Amino acid sequence: MAHINAHYNKLAAGYLFPEIARRTEIFLEKHPGTRVRKLGIGNTTEPLTPAVIKGLKAGVDKLASPETYTGYGDEQGNKLLRERLALYYTERGVSLSSEDFFISDGAKSDSGNIQSIFSSDSIAAFQDPAYPVYVDSNVIAGRSSGFNKDKEEYNNFVYMPCTKENNFIPEVPDQKVDLIYLCSPNNPTGAVATHDQLKSFVDYARKHKAVLIFDAAYAEYISDPALPKTIYEIDGAKECAIEINSLSKFAGFTGVRLGWSIVPGDLIIEGTTPGEVRKLWNRRQSTFFNGASNIVQEGALAVFSKEGLQESKNLVQYYMENAQTIREGVESVGMQAFGGINAPYIWLEIPSGLTSWEFFDKLLLETGVIGTPGSGFGPAGEGYFRLSAFGHHKDIKAAVESIKNNLRL
């Protein structure tokens, strides 16, 4: 008799974004014809840029001829792409080998799967609030005995609260943990860790032989040159940190699907020699995955061409104008906003004591704007609300106008 993996029963709620979609659907059934403006899920809206379109089409053309057709690709991804990525990091002063890179179908897959190469009794620490995949994947892997409804926390996990008081960047844990998930620029708070803050985590990880899992998916949204764009800018990070990144938000690849993980050969954990953890991730990936689409990998190479990089930077700039519009708009009606400077998310403090799901319903009802309740990202997200800067300028402006005109604070 087959049984389900009972760890799934411990999950406190459905995955966040499907839940938002469900509530929106119910709202639209009750209020048909309402013009809904989606600032919830961080979904890109602007077309791929000309250089990328050209690269993708060249990728398709290659498959039309027997001379250039390719089937299964290199195990860790297109070698040219891995070399180009290594070079891109070199340009930031970081030395990595193309063998350290693993091309994937996106940061979500890597964020979810990376925990599987570590022992099931690992103690995991998370920023609170955080992207739900980190927590959910560890629950499903059995690292929590269950959800504590009073604390709104999963047992056995270490939460690192990100609050107004610490500018949404936590201190290192005051206990020993094995895996630490960090996301900077942060989803959902929009906060960016400084060099010194990241250094404290690298020092902690090296001292305790913990592993940092660093999600840099929003790195290209950093405009302040003093802020680190990769964990490997920090001395010693190659011994303790895995980085995950993606073209979703940099180049509009949310639907196209391409990401990469970096497991440096230098990384060591308890009982391993250099190269062993990287080899383990290779074994995981070559057993459960057959590579990102060869067409998409050609598109990714085009992103890192001279034209592609310039166009992608313009795309980031486009969304960051939205971030400014949103931030100024919500501040103009007296709300306190964080983020949105070096990140495409604005983190609103909810006025008047509403829960974040109550504010979700109120905002939708009064303004037609859909955002993401902070509590969906963890207990310390309660009292906050995420607005995403991904959208057409005119839609974002209309949403902000609707907030200004219709939200009753």
Distance (Å, whole) CA 386 – CA 36: 16
* Segment interacting with a second copy, rule: CB under 8 A, options 55-63, 85-93, 336-344, 398-406: 55-63
The residue (of 164 and 283) whose beta carbon lies closer to a second copy is 283
Distance (Å, whole) CA 181 – CA 136: 12
* Segment interacting with a second copy, rule: CB under 8 A, options 157-165, 174-182, 313-321, 325-333: 174-182
N-to-C CA span, the chain: 55
20 binds a second copy (CB under 8 A): no
Q: Which of 10, 208, 362, 397 binds a second copy (CB under 8 A)?
A: 208
The whole-angstrom distance between residue 61's C-alpha and the CA centroid of its chain comes to 32
Residues 84-123 binding a second copy (CB under 8 A) are 105-106, 108-109, 112-113, 116-122
**Do residues 113 and 288 lie in contact, with contact meaning Cβ atoms separated by under 8 Å?**
yes
Name the nearest CA neighbour of 114 among 227, 207, 271, 244.
244
Residue 307 buriedness (CB in 10 A; 0-12 / 13-18 / 19+): middle
Q: Which of 151, 164, 392, 404 binds a second copy (CB under 8 A)?
A: 392
322 binds a second copy (CB under 8 A): no
Q: Which of 37, 44, 323, 369 binds a second copy (CB under 8 A)?
A: 44
The residue (of 72 and 225) whose beta carbon lies closer to a second copy is 72
317 binds a second copy (CB under 8 A): no
Residues 328-367 binding a second copy (CB under 8 A) are none
- Three-class DSSP category at 349: strand
Residues 176-205 binding a second copy (CB under 8 A) are 176, 178-179
The residue (of 242 and 335) whose beta carbon lies closer to a second copy is 242
Least distance from C-beta 225 to a second copy, angstroms? 29
Least distance from C-beta 137 to a second copy, angstroms? 6
Residue 120 buriedness (CB in 10 A; 0-12 / 13-18 / 19+): exposed
Name the nearest CA neighbour of 244 among 179, 295, 301.
179
Rounded-to-10 torsion of CA 17, 19, 20, 26: 150
226 binds a second copy (CB under 8 A): no
**Do residues 52 and 251 lie in contact, with contact meaning Cβ atoms separated by under 8 Å?**
yes
The residue (of 73 and 173) whose beta carbon lies closer to a second copy is 73
71 binds a second copy (CB under 8 A): yes
32 binds a second copy (CB under 8 A): no
Q: Which of 26, 28, 53, 365 binds a second copy (CB under 8 A)?
A: 53
Least distance from C-beta 392 to a second copy, angstroms? 7
Q: What is the DSSP string of 234-283?
A: STTGGGTEEEEEESHHHHS-TTT--EEEE--TT---TT--TTHHHHHHHH
Q: What are the phi and psi torsion angles at 269 (to 5°)?
A: -130, 180
Least distance from C-beta 69 to a second copy, angstroms? 5
38 binds a second copy (CB under 8 A): no
Question: What is the DSSP-derived secondary structure letter of residue 184?
Answer: S
175 binds a second copy (CB under 8 A): no
Residues 245-304 binding a second copy (CB under 8 A) are 252, 254-257, 269-272, 276-277, 280, 283-284, 286-296
Q: Which of 32, 33, 35, 72 binds a second copy (CB under 8 A)?
A: 72
- Three-class DSSP category at 128: strand
